Amino acid sequence: MAINNQMQVMKQMKQELTRFMMLYKFALQELETKIEILQEEFQLLHDYNPIEHTASRLKSPQSIAEKLFRKQHELSLTSIKQNIKDIAGLRITCSFVSDIYRISDMLTGQSDLRTLEVKDYIKEPKPNGYQSLHLLVEVPVFMSDRTEHVCVEVQIRTIAMDFWASLEHKIFYKYKKEVPLHLLRELKEAADSASALDRKMERLQKEIEAIKEEQEDEGGDELVGLLLRQQNLSLPPALLGLFEDDRQK
């Protein structure tokens, strides 16, 4: 009888945990859909997509339990929801630093999302050189019988930031000993180099955009002149004056 009761309790706990993790999975899917819509809008209407790629992940139950144990919190679903804020994570990789804040503003400006926390490791990098913009957002998940608000961690970074962070993680994965000081210095130097590359590439992009805009303006003036000559139109002096003013500007 006691064994049957224990099995029933374990079965119930498993069902509750499955339902609990399902909420975080659905919250990630909601956010991923929002990002896909933004990507498609940029591509179709603006001819520029600031999002290079995205990646999502869910912490495993074992990883969650280990984090609760390290933080000395109670092992319960309520405790997990209150104390573990990165169960669901979405990483967005952008082309340039300005794109990071652009995407952040678009996400946090959506009326059904609530921003819980912002950590800007770009303006204030971590001591080892790590840079990224971290957001904690609350996502509504509409179930059959209720609405749950689920916390998702969003990390937004450039390609260079992501390259550095990925390799840093791989280099020190499961390394528990103290890292030698000279390696920490080199790691920080590599982060500084990645940051300098971001700044240089963004400056180059802005210069190219300025040149393209200038060429488009010149092309527009030439097109107007060509149309007037072909159609042999006689325009009022006041309207011709407007074109002259635009050229002088």
Give domain status of residue 233, yes or no. no
Task: Tell me the two tokens of residue 179.
Answer: 């890292």
Low-confidence ranges of the chain (pLDDT < 70): 1-10, 174, 218-249
CB 34 within 8 A of CB 110: yes
The residue among 78, 94, 80, 76 whose CA lies nearest residue 39 is 94
> How confident is the prediction for the chain on average, in pLDDT?
85
The owner of tokens 């609350």 is: 138
Contacts of 69 (CB under 8 A, 6+ apart): 75
Pairing of strands 88-94, 147-158: parallel
Give domain status of residue 13, yes or no. yes
Give domain status of residue 202, yes or no. no
Which structural domain range is residue 48 located in? 2-180
Give domain status of residue 36, yes or no. yes
Residue 241 is predicted with a pLDDT of 57
Looking up residue 117, the CATH number of its domain turns out to be 3.30.460.10
Q: State CA 10 to chain mean position distance.
A: 38
Give domain status of residue 226, yes or no. no
How many angstroms separate the CA atoms of 247 and 249, rounded? 5
How many angstroms separate the CA atoms of 191 and 161, rounded? 8
pTM for this model (two decimals): 0.79
Give domain status of residue 26, yes or no. yes
Residue 202 is predicted with a pLDDT of 94
Domain count, the chain: 1
Residue 111 is predicted with a pLDDT of 93
Give domain status of residue 147, yes or no. yes
Does the active-site annotation cover 153? yes
Give domain status of residue 239, yes or no. no
Choose the catalytic residue: 138, 153, 178, 214.
Answer: 153
